């Protein structure tokens, strides 16, 4: 039986985020609407033992949110994940623009999210036509992914996200993304041959994020290896 997942949502921080952050409509409708209006949200993080109380006005977190962002040095481009632990208590995990978890020297708890696996994806005529893109077999070792996962969020460099179906192919022994891959490619104006380096972010229970992340050293190395293989193939062909 699939383990129930804690309700969660994530928000990319855009200009003006200090004044308030909007709760996604889908999350609000399923988990918040109808709750006591004046009951503040209690936000906690791995930064300290402090609990921040933040007022919700409709679908927006307002009073108290600015103090939380300043205490955590949040900036434009960061991605913040809210995990609902019940009774309006949320564990908040911030990630930098490269989708690496933001850590603090005084944190007592080890990070709960995995963010150290990157893979290279190429846009091809076949995976666009089939609306299906396979992940490398090595992705089986990524702690953020498992066969119980049914969907992922594809996040571009601007923080915009697309929901896609996630599955596992027994015959290929690999994970795949479908029903959303083609739209992601179309909306990002991709052409055949375009390359994306995705960084996988998740904890094995919540919906994983696949973030486009070309800035990290590991991601750059993947691209270098990819083009080295291409160059090697061309050189080998020219010698024959």
Mean pLDDT of 206-229: 61
Range of the domain at 174: 118-235
- Verify that 126 and 178 share a domain, yes or no: yes
Position 217 pLDDT exceeds 70: no
The whole-number average pLDDT for the span 3-21 is 75
**Alpha carbons 113 and 13: distance in angstroms, whole number:** 19
Average pLDDT of 42-51?
90
In a domain, 39, yes or no: yes
* Sign of the CA dihedral with 48 first, then 50, 51, and 54 last: negative
Q: Identify whether the C-beta of residue 211 lies closer than 8 Å to the C-beta of residue 199.
A: yes
Domains in the chain, number: 2
In a domain, 202, yes or no: yes
* Domain assignment present for 111: no
What pLDDT was estimated at residue 183? 96
Taken in order 60, 62, 64, 68, is the CA torsion positive or negative?
A: positive
Specify the pLDDT at position 70.
92
Query: Across residues 96-120, what is the average pLDDT?
Result: 55
Q: Which of 100-104, 123-127, 131-135, 234-238 is predicted with the least confidence, judged by mean pLDDT?
A: 234-238
User: pTM higher than 0.85, yes or no?
Assistant: no
The residue count for the chain: 240
Residue 111: per-residue pLDDT: 41
Identify each DSSP E strand in 110-172 by its residue range.
114-122, 132-134, 151-155, 161-169
Beta bridge partner(s), residue 116: none
């Amino acid at each position: 039986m699939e383990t129930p997942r804690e309700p969660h949502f994530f928000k990319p921080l855009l200009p003006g985020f200090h004044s308030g952050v909007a709760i996604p409509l889908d999350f609000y409708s399923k988990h918040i609407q109808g709750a006591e209006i004046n009951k503040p949200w209690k936000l906690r993080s791995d930064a300290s033992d402090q609990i921040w109380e933040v007022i919700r006005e409709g679908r927006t977190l307002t009073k108290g949110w600015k103090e939380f962002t300043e205490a955590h040095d949040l900036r434009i481009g960061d991605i913040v994940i809210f995990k609902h632990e019940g009774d309006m208590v949320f564990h908040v995990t911030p990630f930098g623009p490269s989708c690496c978890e933001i850590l603090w020297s005084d944190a007592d708890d080890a990070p709960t999210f995995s963010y150290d696996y990157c893979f290279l994806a190429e846009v091809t005529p076949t995976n666009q036509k089939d609306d299906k893109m396979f992940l490398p077999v090595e992705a089986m070792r990524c702690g953020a992914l498992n066969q119980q996962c049914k969907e992922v969020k594809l996040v571009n460099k601007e923080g915009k996200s697309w929901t896609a179906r996630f599955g596992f192919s027994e015959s290929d022994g690999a994970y795949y993304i479908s029903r959303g891959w083609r739209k992601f490619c179309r909306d990002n104006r991709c052409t055949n041959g375009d390359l994306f380096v995705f960084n996988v972010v998740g904890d094995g229970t919540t919906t994983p994020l696949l973030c486009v992340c070309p800035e990290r050293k590991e991601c750059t190395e993947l691209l270098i290896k990819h083009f080295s293989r291409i160059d090697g193939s061309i050189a080998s062909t020219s010698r024959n």
